């Protein structure tokens, strides 16, 4: 237990202090890291929905886009402060998820596709509803993060700290739920929803709440991104990349764990931008597709399972172990 606390502390110091100290000179690398963490946050949210909610989604870009626009518009047109707008962005994304509730009735693959269709719908609505979103022209000059206590959070390092904090908060929430009775019930639902209902679990509500949570987290990532990039347009905010990259990241890193999607995001994104893109400026994501396919065929549990095969598995008690 003490070792765990020490490790967590060391990790926190490394993440918050060492990384900026080492890389803040290299703006390009820092922006890559911020982007990777943004993807990581979405990947975490996606994995949460898959693991706890038992639902695979191919449309998380919808939540990302809704969160982006919601936050940007609330700040620019309604004068809300940026921090609250991040939460509001998440809330709006969760509201968008309410529209997806009827899709919960659909079986697995059908639900995944339904969410994909929703993502398309939102993109088209954002493009056509010019009065609200300025359509394809996009929204520019979105306010940056403010100066707080003398520190300018619109700097790369500031943005890094914000997204890092958000992602760590998400990870803690995810871990908390997994350990709770709700987490147990959610796991049980995958085997037999009837059995869980027979003991009083409102399975529909449980699944729905995971959907809302996942949407909320993704929406916050979108909101963060809007104030970081300071520009939005429908094809960007609702781009399929915000769905695809997190999925590849989560599968690569191991979607059954909490750290897997995050590690996967950093590795996959950096590889894609620094290596594949350099080799193939156009169409470099073909490698990501191949990577996803390869992972599904050879290591569906992700990287960590490849390593675990070499190391002896410790038998963990179910209450604290992986899903």
Partner 1 sequence: MTELVLQALWSGILTGSSYALIALGLALVFGTMNVINLAHGELVLLAAYVAYTCESAWGASPLLAIPAAIVIVCIATALTYGLVGRIRRDRELNSLLLTYGIGIMLTNGILLIWKADIRSTKSAWLQDAIVFGPLYSMRSELLFFAVSAALIAGLWWWLTRTWAGRAVRAVASNRDAAQLMGIDPHRVEFVSFLVAGLLAAFAGAAIFSVGVIQPGLGISLTIKAFIITVLAGMGSVPGLLVGALLLGLTESLTTTFFSSALQELAGMVLFLVVLFVLPNGLFGTRWRRAH
Partner 2 sequence: MLELSDIGVRFGGLRALDGVSLSVAAGEIVGLVGPNGAGKTTLFNVISGNLRPQRGSLHFDGADIARVPAYARARRGIGRTFQIPQPMHTLTVAENLAVAQRFGAGRVDAHAAEEILDLVHLTGLASRDAATSLSLAELKALEVAKALATRPRMLLLDEVLAGLEAVAKRRFTQMLAEIHARYKLAIVIIEHDIETISTLCPRAAVLNFGQLIADGTPAFVFSQPDVVASYTGTVPDA
List residues binding partner 1 (CB under 8 A): 56, 58, 99, 102-103, 105-106, 108-110, 112-114, 116-118, 120-121, 124-125, 127-128, 204, 240, 244, 247-248, 251, 280, 282-286, 288-293, 296-297, 300
Residue 290 to residue 297: CA distance in whole angstroms: 11
Residue 111 binding: pick among partner 2, partner 1, none (C-beta 5-8 Å cut-off by kind): none
Residue with Cβ nearer partner 1 (10 or 99): 99
Give me the least distance between CB of 118 and partner 1, in Å please: 8
Residue with Cβ nearer partner 1 (93 or 119): 119
Residue 185 binding: pick among partner 2, partner 1, none (C-beta 5-8 Å cut-off by kind): partner 2
Residue 192 within binding range of partner 2, rule CB under 8 A: yes
Residue with Cβ nearer partner 1 (18 or 136): 136
Give me the least distance between CB of 289 and partner 1, in Å please: 3
Binding part of the chain for partner 2, among 135-143, 161-169, 201-209, 239-247 by CB under 8 A, reads 201-209
Q: Among 4, 181, 310, 313, which residue sits at the site for partner 2 (rule: CB under 8 A)?
A: 181
**DSSP code, position 17:** I
Q: Could you give phi then psi for residue 299, rounded to 5 degrees?
A: -150, 70
Task: Give strand pairing partners of 171.
Answer: none
Residue 320 within binding range of partner 2, rule CB under 8 A: no
Residue 318 within binding range of partner 2, rule CB under 8 A: yes
Give me the least distance between CB of 204 and partner 2, in Å please: 8
Q: Among 163, 201, 210, 220, which residue sits at the site for partner 2 (rule: CB under 8 A)?
A: 201
Residue 316 within binding range of partner 2, rule CB under 8 A: no
Residue 117 binding: pick among partner 2, partner 1, none (C-beta 5-8 Å cut-off by kind): partner 1
Answer for the pair 264, 254: CB distance below 8 angstroms, yes or no: yes
**DSSP code, position 282:** S
CB count in 10 Å sphere of residue 302 = 24
- Can you list the alpha helix ranges (DSSP code H) found in 238-285? 241-253, 259-270, 277-279
Give me the least distance between CB of 48 and partner 2, in Å please: 17
Give me the least distance between CB of 106 and partner 1, in Å please: 8
Residue 29 CB contacts under 8 Å (≥ 6 apart), including other chains = 23
Answer for the pair 71, 227: CB distance below 8 angstroms, yes or no: yes
Q: Among 105, 130, 197, 309, which residue sits at the site for partner 2 (rule: CB under 8 A)?
A: 197
Residue 112 to residue 115: CA distance in whole angstroms: 5
**Residue of 154, 168, 119 lying closest to 227 (CA atoms):** 154
Q: Among 191, 259, 274, 289, which residue sits at the site for partner 2 (rule: CB under 8 A)?
A: 191
**Residue of 147, 133, 141 lying closest to 81 (CA atoms):** 147
CB count in 10 Å sphere of residue 167 = 26
**Residue of 280, 268, 284 lying closest to 35 (CA atoms):** 268
> Taken in order 225, 227, 231, 232, is the CA torsion positive or negative?
positive
């Amino acid at each position: 237990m003490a070792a765990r606390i020490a490790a967590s502390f060391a990790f926190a110091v490394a993440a918050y202090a060492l990384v900026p100290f080492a890389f803040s000179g290299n703006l390009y690398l820092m922006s890559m890291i911020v982007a990777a963490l943004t993807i990581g946050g979405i990947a975490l949210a996606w994995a949460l929905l898959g693991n706890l909610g038992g639902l695979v989604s191919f449309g998380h870009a919808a939540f990302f886009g809704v969160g982006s626009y919601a936050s940007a518009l609330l700040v620019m047109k309604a004068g809300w402060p940026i921090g609250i707008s991040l939460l509001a962005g998440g809330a709006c994304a969760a509201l968008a998820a309410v529209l997806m509730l009827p899709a919960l009735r659909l079986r697995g693959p059908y639900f995944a596709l339904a969410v994909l269709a929703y993502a398309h719908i939102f993109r088209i609505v954002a493009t056509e509803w010019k009065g609200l979103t300025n359509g394809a022209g996009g929204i520019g000059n979105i306010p940056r993060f403010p100066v707080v206590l003398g520190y300018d959070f619109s700097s790369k390092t500031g943005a890094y700290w914000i997204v890092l904090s958000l992602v760590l908060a998400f990870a803690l929430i995810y871990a908390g739920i997994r350990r709770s009775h709700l987490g147990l019930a959610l796991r049980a639902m995958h085997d037999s929803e009837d059995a869980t209902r027979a003991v009083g679990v409102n399975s529909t509500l449980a699944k729905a709440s995971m959907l809302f949570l996942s949407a909320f987290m993704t929406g916050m990532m979108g909101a963060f991104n809007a104030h970081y990039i300071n520009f939005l347009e429908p094809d960007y905010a609702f781009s399929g990349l915000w769905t695809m990259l997190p999925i590849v990241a989560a599968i690569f890193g191991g979607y059954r764990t909490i750290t897997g999607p995050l590690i996967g995001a950093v590795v996959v994104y950096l590889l894609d931008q620094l290596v594949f893109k350099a080799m193939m400026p156009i169409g470099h994501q073909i490698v990501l597709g191949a990577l996803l396919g390869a992972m599904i065929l050879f290591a569906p549990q992700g990287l960590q399972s490849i390593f675990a095969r070499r190391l002896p598995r410790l038998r963990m008690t179910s209450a604290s172990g992986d899903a």
